[in-house]
């Protein structure tokens, strides 16, 4: 049970970090869109930034899934 709890805590911290990364990636996309709209960067640069955002978003959902799985296992054992 201690290993499960440690995995839960690790997953919780990972999802928090991934959430912060997602927020930063979203800010980068907004900034890149503004630059693209003003003609300061090309479409390829904007798409690259957006692609990075999608990778970070995927990582966030993966971490969230891990966290929720560990949480559900702990809850099921307590019932």
Q: Please give the tally of structural domains in the chain.
A: 1
Give the C-alpha separation, 5 to 2, whole Å.
5
- The answer to whether residue 1 scores a pLDDT higher than 90 is no
- According to DSSP, residue 45 is labeled H
**Reported pTM:** 0.89
Domain containing residue 30: 2-78
pLDDT per position as a tens digit, 11-34: 999 999 999 999 999 999 999 999
Q: What is the pLDDT confidence band of residue 79, given thresholds at 50, 70 and 90?
A: confident
Give the C-alpha separation, 79 to 18, whole Å.
30
Q: Virtual CA dihedral for 47, 52, 57, 63, nearest 10 degrees?
A: 160
Quick one: pLDDT at residue 5?
A: 94
The radius of gyration computed from the CA coordinates of the chain, to the nearest angstrom, equals 18
Query: Which of 36, 16, 26, 27 is closest to 57 using CA atoms?
Result: 26
Query: Which of 68, 61, 10, 3 is closest to 53 using CA atoms?
Result: 61
Quick one: pLDDT at residue 43?
A: 98
């Amino acid at each position: 049970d201690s290993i499960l709890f440690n995995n839960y805590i690790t997953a919780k911290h990972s999802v928090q970090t991934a959430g912060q990364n997602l927020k930063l990636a979203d800010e980068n996309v907004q900034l890149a869109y503004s630059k693209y709209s003003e003609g300061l960067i090309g479409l390829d640069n904007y798409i690259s930034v957006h692609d990075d955002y999608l990778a970070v978003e995927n990582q966030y959902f993966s971490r969230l899934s891990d966290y929720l799985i560990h949480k559900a296992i702990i809850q099921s054992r307590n019932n």
